Structure 1
Amino acid sequence: LSSLKRCVSAGEPLPADILARWKDATGLDILDGIGTTEILHIFISNRIDAIRPGTSGLLVPGYAARIVDEDGVDVAAGQTGNLRVKGGSTLKYYWNNARKTTATIIDGWVHTGDTYYRDADGYFVCCGRSDDMMKVGGIWCSPVEIEARLIEHPQVLEAAIVGRPDAAGLIKPEAHIVLNLAKDAGDALADDLLAHCKSGLAPYKYPRWFNFVDELPKTATGKIQRYKLRPKV
């Protein structure tokens, strides 16, 4: 790896723990960012002189972004909402799909379908796809935050969180986990992972169920397809 100078990540939010482990192993940072097919280019990114682990970074010059509530009103810093973006590379319309065009392009802004918040320094933090968010105990819950906590455990390779109704019909987080060593799966590890989550997450966020799987469903570009893990209703 001596010839490697720069590393870039996109597709799924880069957990801070993975960035730290990569830097320990290689001495290199990873510049995480977000781009979409509709916008063609990465429009928010960390950069060499401005890296904040666990975030997607800052706006790329030439782009503007808003975080809005369900009524399209801008939210305050630190509050979650839907990410909308505009810039010179955004699509004009979807071919032969007027309905999707209308739903995606709103007053010149591209509605990305991602839930974000912006911290006090202007860094954008991804909470997940808007349709992956869960309302647990009346509070919106980000699967990305729980997954990042699970990945900090040394025996966990990958994790995906979805909402599952409990016996009372209330939504709670459910974990699907790929281990570094499949033989470690079992109740003892599930108990250890629960304790790990409880030590770093609010009570409503820790998973109530742990499923150990061989792999997670993903798109061709490596994005986790959480909808395929949701319980069939």
Structure 2
Amino acid sequence: MRLRNIPGADAAITESVYCIKSPETHKGHWQEIFPSQQPLHIEIGMGKGRFMMDLAAAHPDINYLGIERYSSVLLRALQKMEENPLPNLFFICMDAADVAEVFDHGEVDRIYLNFSDPWPKDRHAKRRLTSRQFFARYDEVLAPEGHLEFKTDNQDLFTFSLEEIPEAGWHLDASTRDLHHDPVLNEGNIMTEYEEKFSSLGNPICKLIASR
């Protein structure tokens, strides 16, 4: 999908107090940017930020970082934050492949992946955020008792993800191919923009939870 460039997006991100510049300089010291030292959860590929903002509002006892590669998308999240600031949430504009350059070993307590790009061609499999290559990156930053949660409506990507977990040396803790009708995994579920859109079209939502 071709993203529309929004003039001034890069400048707005640079000037925003809600977006962390030079994130690699905070490696190993992320707790210092928050008012309180609390568990740290991150979302990789957060889109317009609804999921992160709803989580941060519902769980003030957790610190959150939303990661988005595209400035034109991140701009929408920043605009929302200006309307409703949350002290336990900041954003980073960066590529997911650099996650191990930005977070120290065991610094992250939970990783969220929501409706990631499926990269449908086989030759692009290693670019999928649930590929074994990315699980190796997550392994470098996730706390020993940490978890990764992944949601998608793409059945092929979900099947691929389930297969990659053991290949990456991880463990599948739970999974469902119909989240909204799963009484256990759907409890307390916070929807993303895509989740609301796709489920309204009748697409079942898949979810898995994995750990080392």
More helix by share: 2
Larger Rg: 1
TM-score scaled to structure 1, two decimals?
0.29
Q: Which has the higher contact order (CA 8 A, sep 6+)?
A: 2
TM-score scaled to structure 2, two decimals?
0.31
